[in-house]
Structure 1
Amino acid sequence: MKEIKLFCPATIANLSCGFDVLGLCLETAGDEMIVRKSDEKGVRITKIVGADLPLETEKNVAGVAALAMLEAYERDFNPITIGFEIEIFKNIKAGSGIGSSAASSAGAVFGINELLGKPYSRKDLVQFAMQGEKLASGNAHADNVAPALLGGFTLVRSYNPLDIIKIDSPEELYATVVHPQIELKTSDARSVLKQNVSLKSAIMQWGNVGGLIAGLYTKDYDLIGRSLHDEIVEPLRSVLIPGFDLIKQTALENGALGSGISGSGPSIFALSRGKETAEKIAKAMSEVYDNMSLPYEIHISQINPEGVRIL
């Protein structure tokens, strides 16, 4: 196999209570990518469609992730005598809060791994994709790249050493995501966060994380909903997102189990039981931004159980 075409899915990170440790993979939103072998050693980004992003390998998240993987491959296995070219077709806008950089990073390492004969597992690939996230935000977090590569929900139990648990989604769970057409950089959204939290807030957050994980395993939709509460990050970041409180309130009034900031924003997510409720929430969210005359995109999606996949 000399060339591979991929679907690189969008993701929702944090999921209210799980800052930097929880994420889920979306089925209907994502980028496409072509990765091919080349006679010229190294990694080259040859085409980007749909976004004004750097073609220079060291300045592109896909390039940085790919280089990290190839460096490890030469250390773990053999020197590489071939190179790789990457074409990226962006459908996820940068700064949207649904894992644009993660989709590119995950797709690059997945595609090269396939062309090399799959020397690494999907879980192994997360550590390389994290280097793309480090370039994008200054922090090598895994809460987007892990679900992008593994599918379903993922919990990052530990970063050192990296320990990731995949959790299958309840079958009827749907996500609705609205993206107001403003860009909010992850690095800027991180700058408003406090470095210390109160013990009272931490205890409440731990309870919600445990409750959400328990709800996913037991398919207890009500418990999932009760656990989608962020005591620490959302109060600080929500002020950066136009109409956040009204959008969240509207989602809950229309049947959402819970709602919150997707990643670092500005996208806002809602989880619901069943497609019909997800569509009802999407219509209500749309009306809020229509009334504000604020352009937006909206996605309705089941949870993607697979992650990055070959087209």
Structure 2
Amino acid sequence: MNDSIKVFAPATVANVVCGYDVLGFAVNQPGDEVIMRLTGGKGISISKITGDDGKLPLDPDKNTVSASVQHYLNHIGKPDTGIDIELHKKMPIGSGLGSSSASTVAGLFAVNTLFDNLLTNRELVPFAMKGEELACGYGHADNVAPALMGGFVLIRSYEPLDIISLPFPEDMHAAVVYPEVDVPTKDARQMIRSKVLLKDAVTQWGNVAGLVSGLFLKDYDLIGRSMTDILVEPTRSILIPDFAVMKSIALESGAIGFGISGSGPSVFALTRDADIARTITAKLQQHLKNLNINSLSFVSEVNKKGPIILD
């Protein structure tokens, strides 16, 4: 058994417009890195965090990575194992791209690898959900499941947990733009209505089913017309500068569909190829620059691997 490892875990786009808390997919960039070492002592320590501007706790009881790793160690009957963690944030916190998820997944994949892969990546999902619960008060899986398993993922049920990997068109790309404005996940979740009209729910069910069907059929037109959300996007989009204008820009530039990534403020478009994705990110960034808003952009195919070991 090795005593140290370095792992990268990818960012994710949760909800995919109409699938609130039940759909998500992984992208190749950005992501987070964890270096983990077995110390021979007792208990978990976090010796270093970079890239977080001092926002994340070094206290192992309060950090999503260490908390999830502790749950894993308890499960395998080695609760007092000595582990040191370095967390290197390579993506913005509070971006809507699964920042806490990427860190947590990297940590869990690292510890599971150090213990000779006692669990599959799918079996690690409940432990990662514990990290999400610590980060935003609710243990959802639409970030952690695709980050662990790669690809597009459907969470059919939470109790019991039932996760399905979905096929998707091989050439599909994501154009992701992160406007540097603050939209805390907890606040964004609290804005969502707790009750919806039955006719709205029926519309939403049809769109989720249409999106899943479109992915299976590799039918870009069906995917695009299913990427409509009448329950969450109308409220959350208020927090994102010029959301409607950006959506129009993306769709007019060839996007299949456009929406909010997770709780925002990041937005994303699905496209047929990388060139269209690059065109869209350039136009969206220019529009935000005209509003005096800084932004970051990422163009990626759908990540098929999930976390990987780095040399």
Question: TM-score, normalization: structure 2?
Answer: 0.97
Residues 285-307 of structure 1: CA deviation (Å, up to 9, x unaligned): 11110111101111111110010
Residues 156-187 of structure 1: CA deviation (Å, up to 9, x unaligned): 01101111011233111000111111121110
Residues 180-226 of structure 1: CA deviation (Å, up to 9, x unaligned): 11121110001111101111111111111111111111111111111
Moved over 6 A (4+): none
Partners of 1:200 and 1:308 lie apart in 2 by: 40
Partners of 1:270 and 1:227 lie apart in 2 by: 13
Partners of 1:91 and 1:128 lie apart in 2 by: 22
- % identical equivalent positions: 48
Q: Which residue of 2 aligns with 1:158?
A: 157
Partners of 1:224 and 1:85 lie apart in 2 by: 44
SS in 2 for 1:264: coil
Q: Which residue of 1 aligns with 2:250?
A: 251
Partners of 1:240 and 1:81 lie apart in 2 by: 44
Q: Which residue of 1 aligns with 2:68?
A: 65
Partners of 1:136 and 1:166 lie apart in 2 by: 25
Q: Which residue of 1 aligns with 2:31?
A: 30
Moved more, 24-33 or 94-103: 24-33
Q: Which residue of 2 aligns with 1:274?
A: 273
Give the conservation status (yes or no) of the 8 Å contact 2:26–2:152.
yes
Q: Which residue of 1 aligns with 2:45?
A: 44
Are 1:201 and 2:204 counterparts? no
Taking only aligned residues, the RMSD between alpha carbons, in angstroms, comes to: 1.0
Give the conservation status (yes or no) of the 8 Å contact 1:25–1:303.
yes
SS in 2 for 1:54: coil
Partners of 2:269 and 2:232 lie apart in 1 by: 17
Partners of 1:290 and 1:80 lie apart in 2 by: 50
Give the conservation status (yes or no) of the 8 Å contact 2:70–2:79.
no
Structure 2 residue identity aligned to 1:268:
V
Structure 1 residue identity aligned to 2:122:
K
Residues 72-100 of structure 1: CA deviation (Å, up to 9, x unaligned): 111xxxx4563211111101111100000
Unaligned runs of 5+ in 2: none
Partners of 2:41 and 2:209 lie apart in 1 by: 49
Residues 22-62 of structure 1: CA deviation (Å, up to 9, x unaligned): 00000121111111111112221111010021110111110
Give the conservation status (yes or no) of the 8 Å contact 2:15–2:22.
yes
Mapping 1:34-183, distance limit 5 Å: 34-51=35-52, 52=54, 53-74=56-77, 79=78, 82-183=81-182
Q: Which residue of 2 aligns with 1:309?
A: 308
* CA positional deviation for 1:282: 1.0
SS in 2 for 1:12: strand
Partners of 1:210 and 1:309 lie apart in 2 by: 31
**How many correspondences in the alignment?**
307
Structure 1 residue identity aligned to 2:23:
L
* CA positional deviation for 1:248: 1.0
Partners of 1:121 and 1:144 lie apart in 2 by: 17
* CA positional deviation for 1:117: 0.8
Partners of 1:28 and 1:102 lie apart in 2 by: 14
Partners of 1:10 and 1:177 lie apart in 2 by: 11
Give the conservation status (yes or no) of the 8 Å contact 1:9–1:29.
yes
Structure 2 residue identity aligned to 1:69:
Y
Partners of 2:282 and 2:79 lie apart in 1 by: 51
Question: TM-score, normalization: structure 1?
Answer: 0.97
Q: Which residue of 2 aligns with 1:191?
A: 190
Q: Which residue of 2 aligns with 1:300?
A: 299
